[in-house]
Each structure stands twice: as C-alpha cells, then as structure tokens.
Structure 1
Amino acid sequence: MLEALKVIFLGIVEGITEWLPISSTGHLILVEEFVKLKMSEGFISMFNVVIQLGAILAVVVIYFHKLNPFSSTKTQKQKMLTLQLWVKVLIASVPAAVIGLLFDDFIDAHLMNYVVVAITLILYGIAFIVVEKQHEHKKPAVRRLSDLTIPMVLIIGCFQVLALIPGTSRSGATIIGGLLVGAARGVAAEFTFFLAIPVMFGASFLKIFKFGFSFTGMEIFLLLLGCVISFAVSIFAIKFLMQYIKNHDFKAFGYYRIVLGAIVLLYFGLTAAFA
C-alpha cells in the first residue's frame, strides 16, 4: 500500500512537470530523495518510462482531432494541413533522435546528477526571462501552426536537443526555440506538445528495449497505476498551461526554475558536505 501511494505521488509530479516548462527531471530528482521506491533498479527505470508514456497519451487524447489527418469531419485542405503538420513534427524530431541515440548512455552515466540539473534549471530560467523581456512589445510573426516553416521547425528541433541534458525541460527548451523563431506562445506550446509524441515514444521504447519487461503481477499493477495517474494529471496540466498563456507570459516559470535550481544545489550540497 505504501509503495502504491508513492507511485501515485510520483505520477502526479510527472504529470504536472512534464508539460509545464519547469523540468520533470529536476522535480523527480528532488522528490525521489524523500519518496524512494523500495523496488529493483530495473523496475524504477521502467517506471520512469511508463509515467512518461502516460503523459504523452494525454496529448494524443486532447489533440486527437487536430492530429488526425483522416477525420471525416475535416475538409480536404484541413487533412492536407494536418499531414503537413506531421511532416514538420517528424522533421523537427530528427536532431534529438540522432543525438539521443548516440549519447543516451553517456548522458545517463555522466549528466544525471544534481549539479547538472540545478545549473540547467537556473540557466534556462534566466533564458525564459530574457527571451520574454525581448519579446514584450513584439507581435508574433507565427500565429498558426500552419505558418511554421521547415527552417523554423528545424530550429525548434535543435533546441529540443538541448533538453537531452537533465534539468533543461524538453517543453521549456522547445518553447524558447518557438518564441525565438517568432511563434506566438500558444503555437510554441502546442508544437512542443506534438513534438513530444515521436520523441517520447521513441525514447520510451528505447528504454523498454534496454531494460526488458519482466515483472511480477504487483510490479505490473504499480506500473499501470503510475501510467494512469500521470495521464490523468497531464490532462489538467496541459489545459492549465494553454489557458494560462492566453493572458500571461513565461517569466513566472523562469523565476520558479531559478528558485528550484538554487534549492537543489543547496540541499544536495549541504547533504554532501555533512555526509
């Protein structure tokens, strides 16, 4: 029962932080210091994959109609625009897919630590504030997803590569990329959600292939529980973000990241000093 409560809590954290530009890794590394699953290393690795899958399924459900090029309610032009959107998403996914495959083991071995997470939390927090201040009085050039050009989505895709560094926040990096190419906040956020589909599915299946899927009945139950909780919370997190950015910019998330990064550095630094 205690492990189930931990799984629920971790699923909630993942569902909220995966879509808000505040770094799910940064939060999970801090939360897991206090909420430790008493399970095998293989289970924990798989659990982190499964709760991400739950989060990405929320995007598929919310935007199913917009992402479905075969919908009978769409005109031929709308179907063509949907197919073009998918082409842009796949093109933007290439940089992270290539770099991720090449450096996945290196990142897990050398960058998955609190110092890297804290530094990237702070750096991208500052970046959000700077980018938003630069765009305060500028009208976005891209107000619709269909206005995104191939060069633009490639630039956004390159920003997604930065998110391979723990603590960066995949949504945070790609939203910054979107803002820099002139996209409106809503367009940048939506394209970020869609870009997560192939990238996160690909990363998840890579981890499943690496760790396998041999678990007990109780472990499978906990994995499914974490997936469902992450999915449900992600629905609310995505809707909250899209509503929030109608009247607000991303600076508040920048300040939050800086504070969280400082807390991570302070906590783990003091823990190491007095160990």
Structure 2
Amino acid sequence: MFDYVKAIILGIVEGLTEFLPVSSTGHMILVGDILNFDGPAADTFKIVIQLGAVMAVLILYWKRYMDMLKGLVTLNFKAKKKLNAIHMIIAMIPALIVYLIFKDVIKEQLFGPAPVLIGLVVGGILLLVAVRVKRKVTAENTDDITYKQALGIGLFQCLALWPGFSRSGSTISGGLLLGTSQKAAADFTFMISVPVMLGATVLDMYDSRELLTSDNLLLFAIGFVAAFIVAMIAVVTFLNLIKRLRLEWFALYRFVLAAVFYLFLM
C-alpha cells in the first residue's frame, strides 16, 4: 500500500513540475530518494508517468495537433509563417538520436541525486545567461519560428536528457538565445513536449518490458492518473506563468533546491 502512496506523490510532483523550467525528472529522482523509491522499476516508473502529463497537453492542444497532422498527411507545408509538423520533427531529431545512443548511460549514471543537483545548478545558470544575453527577437509567436530556430531549440533540448537540466528550461533558454520571445519559446516547448515525451516513454517501456508485471502496471497506472489529473489542472496556469514570470525566479528556485538537498540529504 505504501508503494501506491509513493506513486501518487510522485505523480503529483510530475504533474506540478513537468511544464516549469525546474526539471520534473530531477524532482522525481530527489523525491524518490527521500521516499526510498529507487531501482530499475522506479527509474522506468519516473519516465512512464510522464505520459500522464503528455496526455494533458494533447487534450488541451488537440486542435493544433490535428492541423499539423493533417498537413503532414497531405504534405501541405507551404503556408507562410505557420507552425507545422516539420518544425516538430526537426526539433525532435537531435534529442532522439542522442537518447538512442546514450540511453543506457543516462539511466545508469545520471538517474541519481548528485547528477540531478549538478543539472539543477548548470541549468539555472543557462536560464540566467539566456535572459541576460540580448538577442533581436525575430519570432514573437510560434508561427514566426523558422526551421533553423526549431533545429537549434532541438539541439538545446538534448541537454534535458541530463536529469535536472529540465526540458522546458533547456528549450526556453535555447529559444531566447536563438531570437524567440519568451512567450513563443514557452508555447513551442509545450507543443514539442508531446512527441518527445511520448517517443521517450514508448522506447523506455519497450526496453523495460520485463518490468511491466501486473504489480508494476498497477503502480504505473496510479502514477499516470495522478500526473494526468494534476497536469490538467496546472498546465494552463503554468503556461501563463512561464510567459509572464521572470525566468530569474526559476533559476533562483533551482539554486535553493540544489543547496538544500546538498546540505541536508547528500
């Protein structure tokens, strides 16, 4: 029963942190360490329950995804200044390649408190640099994002494979450095979260299929539902928060969190 309580707690943590530039995976690893929830099955659980947050975004943005899917099926990408499936594919490719090459190293070496604390600090510094470096804004919204910018953001997204860096933190920082507005970077981050997280989860579930026993499936389902419910409630609020709140506050939170865990738990 206590494992199910842990699953609910981690699902809530996932739903609350997935769309903020603070690293949901990093939070789950740190909270999992506090709860003594570790091991191969726990590592897979922490990835699989991200599907709950993915489903929340998919439901909220379903019309946009349907438009892009329709354009992909009909090969209609000629509309000027319009976000389409090609942007999404370009942004996905770098992280997918890096994940496929280094997935074993990532799970074996980086899914621990110490690497997460490093990722939190370095990712926070990246946020500060992205805010401080002045760039001419060429993309006020997602429809202004070019294929070149999408590729650049995709390259920055590779950093998020290190737990603690944060997918949204890395991509928003990359977007700012490449000339997008904070609003456009945040919106694009939300949009590409679905295919990226869906792909990573499916690959991880296949690699860890021997862990998908009836007992673990129930545990995963509980975490999934908790993450989905919390993400549905939080996603709209957090999207508006990311667009408007100064990113320095998220960097400060990351530094404080890393310091607290280092002083009291390491």
Counterpart selection for 1:201 from 189, 198, 201: 198
**Worse-superposed segment, 233-242 or 177-186:** 233-242
Distance 1:82 1:237 in 2: 30
Rounded to whole Å, the distance in 2 between the matches of 1:267 and 1:32 is 15
Question: Secondary structure of the residue that 2:161 maps to in structure 1?
Answer: coil
1:114 shift after superposition? 2.3
Residue identity matched to 1:35 = L
Amino acid at match of 1:220: L
Cα distance in 1, alignment partners of residues 199 and 69 from structure 2: 25
Structure of greater Rg: 1
- Determine if contact 2:43/2:111 at 8 Å carries over to the other structure: no
Residues 155 and 240 of structure 1: CA distance in aligned 2, closer, same or farther (over 3 Å) = same
TM (norm. structure 1) is 0.85
Q: 1:225 aligns with which of 198, 222, 227?
A: 222
Task: Name the CA shift for 1:265/1:182 in 2 (closer, same or farther; >3 Å).
Answer: same
CA–CA distance in structure 2, aligned partners of residues 110 and 133 of structure 1? 32
Name 1:31's counterpart in structure 2: 31
Deviation at 1:158, TM superposition (A): 0.4
| 1:93 aligned onto 2:92 | yes
Contact kept, 8 Å, 2:83 with 2:144, in 1: the verdict is no
Separation in 1, partners of 2:251, 2:259: 13
Q: Which amino acid aligns with 2:182?
A: R
In structure 1, how many angstroms separate the alpha carbons of the residues matched to 2:242 and 2:165?
Answer: 20
**Matched residue type, 2:24:** S
Which string of whole-angstrom CA distances, capped at 9 and with x for unpartnered residues, describes residues 38-79 of structure 1? 9xx45424422321111111110111112211899xxx9999
Tell whether 2:172 aligns with 1:175: yes
Q: Secondary structure at the match of 1:60?
A: helix
Aligned to 2:106: 107
SS state at 1:55 partner: helix
**Counterpart for residue 117 of structure 1:** 116
1:273 — aligned with what?
A: none
Of residues 53, 58, 61 in structure 2, which corresponds to 1:60? Answer: 58
- Sort the Cα spacing of 1:43 and 1:29 in 2 relative to 1 into closer, same or farther, 3 A: closer
Contact 1:10 1:226 in 2 (8 A): yes
Aligned pair 1:187/2:184, yes or no?
A: yes
Moved more, 52-61 or 240-249: 240-249
Residue of structure 1 in register with 2:253 after alignment: 256
CA distance in 2, matches of 1:227, 1:130: 34
One-letter amino acid of the counterpart of residue 119, structure 1: I
- CA change 1:211–1:71 in 2 (3 A) is closer
Give the aligned partner of residue 20 of structure 1: 20
SS in structure 2 of the partner of residue 132 of structure 1: helix
Which whole-Å CA distance do the structure 1 matches of 2:42 and 2:112 have between them? 16
**Distance between the aligned counterparts of 1:212 and 1:134, measured in 2?**
45
Aligned length: 261
In the alignment, is the contact (CA less than 8 A) between 1:175 and 1:189 conserved in 2? yes
Distance in 2 between residues matched to 1:227 and 1:193, nearest whole Å = 19
Q: Which of 229, 239, 242 is matched with 1:242 structurally? A: 239
Question: What does residue 2 of structure 2 align with?
Answer: 2
Matches of 1:166 and 1:107, distance apart in 2: 9
Distance 1:30 1:187, change over 3 A: same
Structure 2 gap segments, 5+ residues each = none
Q: How has the CA–CA distance of structure 1 residues 102 and 228 changed in structure 2, closer, same or farther, with 3 Å as cutoff?
A: same
The answer on whether the counterparts of 1:54 and 1:231 sit within 8 Å (CA) in structure 2 is: yes
TM (norm. structure 2) is 0.88
Where structure 1 has 5 or more consecutive residues not aligned to the other structure, the ranges are: 270-275
Q: Provide the secondary structure at the position in 2 that maps to 1:258.
A: helix
Larger deviation, residues 185-194 vs 29-38: 29-38
RMSD: 2.7
What amino acid does structure 1 have at the position aligned with 2:93?
A: V
Counterpart residue identity of residue 87, structure 2: K
Instruction: Report the alpha carbon displacement of residue 212 of structure 1 after superposing the two structures with TM.
Output: 0.8
User: For 1:260-275, what aligned pairs fall within 5 Å after superposition?
Assistant: 260-269=257-266
Aligned-residue sequence identity (percent) comes to 37
> Contact 1:7–1:222 at 8 Å: present in 2 too?
yes
2:178 and 2:188 mapped to 1: Cα distance? 13
**1:83 Cα deviation after fit:** 8.3
**Structure 1 segments of 4 or more deviating over 4 A?**
76-84
